Structure 1
């Protein structure tokens, strides 16, 4: 319940409680607080029991902690009914990035890069003919897919 309270904070709370309530009233306040906490716990336990009874026997293994989204997702992912571990292990990000880098640099890779477009392929072949460098000062050659009119900033 109080996992993030350190010893210094606990001592500070005790000193504040003694100063606020006084040493003679402090035991009575502690008893009242503990009695209130016990009543709240009993009330929540009885409410949980009533809900379980109303849900019926098909929900006998229902846990209220599963209503927390983090707990629910963690429980569903740990069961791995969807085969997520196979998908996760089958996806190699380093290999995919190396394939894309090879395609951009114009090197021959062992597997084809699925996401390379025709413009990047032509730029890569032109770069390989110039020793691996791309001239950024020249405008790219217009391709058949680039038949759009020029952008007019004043018109928008």
Structure 2
């Protein structure tokens, strides 16, 4: 319910409660607060049961948490098990996921690096110009 309340905050609240109410009245106040919380929960449960009984037998497994927008969307739209709408979101998510394609490229590079056969070796490249024979020299008589 309160995810940001840690041990230091609880310790501070306990010290503050002891200072405000005193050690004599503190157990009575804790009992009355616990009783109030129990009554609120009982009223909430009875209201939920009343709504379920008014809705009828087709809504007997209706959960009020499903009315939260995030839970509703997750349960009825985004699930891929066939109970909700099947919008093909899993296919889209898999198509846009680059991990499979990157794995294929990595495997291809790995096999190319490991392949040491002569056909895989590239021809040697030299930076020297090939010497031309005089009969192959380009000559244009009209250029002179």
TM-score scaled by length of structure 2: 0.59
Deviations 1:61-118 (A, max 9, x none): 210000111111111212462221112323468xxxxxxxxxxxxxxxxxxxxxxxxx
| Runs of 4+ displaced beyond 4 Å | none
Q: Secondary structure at the match of 1:4?
A: coil
RMSD of aligned Cα (Å):
1.9
Which residue of 82, 89, 94 corresponds with 1:84? 89
Q: How many residues align?
A: 94
Question: Which ranges of structure 2 fall in alignment gaps of 5 or more residues?
Answer: 99-144
- How far did 1:43 drift? 0.1
Q: How big is the shift at 1:27?
A: 0.5
Give me the whole-angstrom Cα distance separating, in 1, the residues matched to 2:48 and 2:59.
Answer: 12
Distance 2:54 2:80 in 1: 27
Corresponding position of 1:40 = 40
Gaps of 5+ in 1: 94-156
Q: Corresponding residue for 2:13?
A: 13
For 1:104-143, list aligned pairs within 5 A: none
Over alpha carbons, which structure has the higher Rg? Answer: 2
Q: 1:36 to 1:92 in 2, by over 3 A?
A: closer
Instruction: Label 1:92 to 1:45 Cα distance change in 2 as closer, same or farther (>3 A).
Output: closer
Structure 1 or 2: more helix by fraction: 2
1:64 lines up with 2:64 in the alignment: yes
SS in 2 for 1:87: helix
Distance 2:97 2:30 in 1: 58
